Amino acid sequence: MMSGKVLVLHGPNLNLLGTREPEIYGHETLADIDNALREHAVLEGWELASRQSNHEGELIDAIHAARLDGTVAIIINPAAYTHTSVAILDALNAFDGTVIEVHLSNVHKRESFRHHSYVSLRADGVIAGLGSQGYHAALDAVIRKG
């Protein structure tokens, strides 16, 4: 059974998940999501690290660290930085592994400014609108790719 190391990155305000707008983002907290993802990875013999930050530079630093620590895939929900950050795109372009972009909501059914993603220019796959199951679908894809 192949195994590897996956990094899950959550962008700004996702630390507030579960507190507001459950009709858009669900009722789970970020801790609920991270705990379920870690259990999913361990059951498959994979290692999973997760990080949430409200600061663009911290997310970029985490991507840079992943280049050097054996991480084979990054699953990222950039939140609002999806639509604004060339800097995060540039950092992801310097990462040679698999990149999967995840959004809890279907951004294409929302405000027009959410329809564009800089990160999608690098992402190997994009999953949107499946809630927290989107993270698990991304992890399954990474594990199947090996």
Ligand X SMILES: O=C(O)[C@]1(O)C=C(c2cccc(Sc3ccccc3)c2)[C@@H](O)[C@H](O)C1
Tell me if 19 contacts ligand X by CB under 6 A.
Answer: yes
User: Is 103 known to be catalytic?
Assistant: yes
Contact between 107 and ligand X by CB under 6 A: the answer reads yes
Q: Which of 10, 103, 118, 136 is catalytic?
A: 103
Query: Is there binding between residue 114 and ligand X (CB under 6 A)?
Result: yes
Q: Taking the CA of residue 37 as centre, how many other CA atoms within 13 Å lie in the half-sphere pointing to its CB?
A: 31
- By the 8 A CB rule, do 7 and 51 touch? yes
Would you count residue 104 as binding ligand X (CB under 6 A)? yes
The set of residues, in sequence order, having a beta carbon less than 8 Å from that of 146 and lying 6+ positions away, is 2, 4
In the numeric block, the tokens 């059951």 are attached to: 43
Check if 81 is active-site.
no
Residues between 41 and 70 that touch ligand X (CB under 6 A): none
- The catalytic residue among 10, 25, 81, 135 is 25
Active site residues: 25, 103
Question: Which chain residues interact with ligand X by CB under 6 A?
Answer: 13-14, 16-17, 19-21, 25, 77, 79-80, 82, 103-105, 107, 114
